[in-house]
């Protein structure tokens, strides 16, 4: 908008000032009108995109008599009964613990292994570097959902069904390629000269890495690990097939357990969905800028 004003302000110098001024007034009026139109469209889109999220939260606070109605209730006094039901199920805290353990372990492993690999790819020249890039790239596109059956057979043959370790290892490998991919970008962005200067000052390569590069990578590490976190936190298909034992299940399975063949407890389902979504939502809102800026070169969607 300011660019337009400047351009308009400069315009009279180009000759025929009166016509230009007239035209610019008309343009400004048209602009204000179209701005109102755009705002209206944006508002509509906001409602569309927020509605499912709003409906999840609002349902979770309704009493059963307000949930199970043909014509939805929009105004009501909130109740927490569904949250009590959702968190009151047997093994709820086991699910929470399993989810946290598996997710954190997978992310930590992925960071550790990816840090080494991405440093090599970004900084060192070696035979097979392009091959490695190709492997990472293909692995990043890996259709895990298509391999569920064979993952089940592998885990069964290794007597590793219903194991948190198996799940951790799988999530680690799922998160690894994009962690490498993304960290590589962050490492490449650190000026080479900083590292060289440290080496000249007598640092070893390890020291140079730990003292110079590592601190500069902090934002990259944080953003990458949070993406790994979200991926592992949300994973549903693998845990559905591999960890059928209730005490080895994670929160995504807990979330679906209020829907049964005998009927759905929608209030509890929505309360569980809300509880499951809130941590991710908070992380996303905080990190959104970094996510759209730095991470999008990798496949960052679940």
Partner 1 sequence: MLTVDTEEPGPGSAVKTAGRTGRRFAPPGGWLPYLLITPAVLAIAGILGYALVRNLLISFQEFGRRQLISHTTEWSGLENYRRVLEDERFWASLVRTFVFMAANVVLIMAIGTLIGMLLYRLGKPMRLVLSIALVAAWAMPVIASTTVFRWLFDTQFGVANWAMRSLGFSGYEQHNWFGSGFSTLAIVTLLIVWASVPFVALNLYAGLTTISGEIYEAARMDGASGPRIFWSITAPIMRPFFLITTFLEIIWVFKAFTQIYALNAGGPSRESETLPVMAYIEGMGQNQYGTAAAISVLTLIILLVALSFYFRLILKQEKEPQS
Identify the CA nearest to 220 among candidates 102, 100, 122: 122
Contacts for 270-274: CB closer than 8 Å, 24+ residues apart:
270/56, 270/57, 270/59, 270/60, 270/82, 271/60, 271/82, 271/83, 271/85, 271/86, 272/86, 273/56, 273/60, 274/56, 274/57, 274/60
Residues 75-94 that bind partner 1 (CB under 8 A): none
Give the angle 68-71-75 at the CA atoms, nearest 5°: 85
Structural tokens at position 158: 């290794």
Residue among 94 and 290 whose Cβ is closer to partner 1: 290
Binding partner 1 (rule: CB under 8 A), the pick from 130, 159, 215, 261 is 130
Give the nearer residue to partner 1 in terms of CB position, either 248 or 250: 250
Residues 151-210 that bind partner 1 (CB under 8 A): 151-154, 169-170, 172-173, 176-177, 180, 185, 188-189, 191-192, 196, 205
User: Is the CB of 18 or the CB of 141 nearer to partner 1?
Assistant: 141
Q: Rounded to the nearest whole angstrom, what is the least distance from the CB of residue 123 to partner 1 in the complex?
A: 6
Least distance in angstroms from the C-beta of 5 to partner 1: 11
Nearer to partner 1, 13 or 146 (CB): 146
Q: Quick one: 78 or 302, whose CB is closer to partner 1?
A: 302
State which of positions 97-116 bind partner 1 (CB under 8 A): 113-114, 116
Binding residues for partner 1 restricted to 35-54, rule: CB under 8 A: 35, 38-39, 41-43, 45-50, 52-53
Integer Cα distance of 225 and 57 in angstroms: 27
C-beta of 25 vs 45, nearer to partner 1? 45
Q: Smallest distance, Å, CB 91 to partner 1? A: 18
**Terminal Cα-to-Cα distance of the chain (whole angstroms):** 37
Asked if 179 contacts 228 with a C-beta cutoff of 8 angstroms, the reply is yes
Nearest distance in Å: CB 28, partner 1: 14
CA separation (Å) from 140 to 179, 266, 277?
A: 9, 36, 25
Distances (CA, A) of 71 to 57, 58, 159, 248: 18, 15, 51, 39
Tokens 């994670």 belong to 250
Number of residues that bind partner 1 (CB under 8 A): 107
Q: Considering the complex, what minimum distance in angstroms separates the CB of residue 27 from partner 1?
A: 9
Span 234-273, contacts to partner 1 by CB under 8 A: 234, 236-237, 241, 252, 255-256, 259, 264, 266, 269-270, 273
Count other Cβ atoms within 10 Å, centred on residue 159: 9
Name which of 4 and 22 has its Cβ closer to partner 1.
Answer: 4
Burial code (b: 16+ CB inside 10 Å, e: under 16) for 59-76 equals: bbbbeeebbeeeeeeeee
Residues facing residue 259 across a β-bridge: 264
Of 171 and 248, nearer to partner 1 (C-beta) is: 171
Q: Which of 134, 165, 210, 218 binds partner 1 (CB under 8 A)?
A: 134
Residue among 15, 65, 90, 145 that touches partner 1 (CB under 8 A): 145
Rule CB under 8 A: is residue 73 a binding residue for partner 1?
no
* Nearest distance, CB of residue 187 and partner 1, angstroms: 9
285 near partner 1, judged by CB under 8 A: yes
């Amino acid at each position: 908008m300011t660019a337009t004003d400047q351009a308009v302000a400069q315009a009279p110098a180009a000759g025929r000032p009166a016509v230009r001024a007239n035209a610019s007034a008309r343009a400004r009026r048209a602009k204000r009108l179209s701005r109102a139109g755009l705002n209206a469209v944006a508002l509509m889109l906001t409602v569309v995109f927020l509605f499912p999220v709003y409906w999840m939260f609002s349902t979770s606070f309704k009493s059963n008599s307000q949930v199970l109605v043909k014509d939805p209730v929009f105004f009501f006094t909130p109740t927490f009964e569904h949250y009590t039901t959702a968190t009151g199920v047997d093994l709820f805290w086991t699910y929470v613990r399993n989810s946290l353990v598996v997710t954190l372990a997978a992310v930590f492993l992925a960071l550790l292994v990816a840090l080494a690999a991405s440093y090599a790819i970004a900084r060192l020249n070696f035979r097979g570097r392009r091959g490695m890039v190709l492997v990472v790239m293909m692995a990043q596109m890996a259709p895990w959902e298509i391999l569920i059956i064979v993952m089940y057979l592998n885990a069964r043959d290794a007597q590793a069904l219903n194991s948190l370790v198996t799940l951790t290892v799988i999530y680690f490998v799922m998160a690894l390629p994009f962690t490498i991919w993304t960290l590589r970008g962050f490492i490449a962005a650190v000026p080479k000269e900083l590292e060289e200067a440290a080496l000249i000052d007598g640092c070893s390569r390890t020291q140079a890495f730990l003292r110079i590069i590592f601190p500069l990578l902090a934002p990259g590490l944080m953003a990458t690990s949070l993406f790994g976190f979200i991926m592992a936190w949300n994973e549903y298909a693998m845990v559905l097939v591999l960890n059928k034992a209730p005490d080895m299940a994670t929160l995504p399975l807990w979330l679906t357990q209020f829907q049964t063949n005998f009927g759905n407890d929608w209030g509890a389902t929505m309360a569980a969905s809300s509880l499951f979504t809130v941590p991710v939502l908070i992380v996303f809102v905080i990190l959104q800028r970094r996510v759209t800026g730095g991470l999008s070169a990798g496949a960052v969607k679940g």
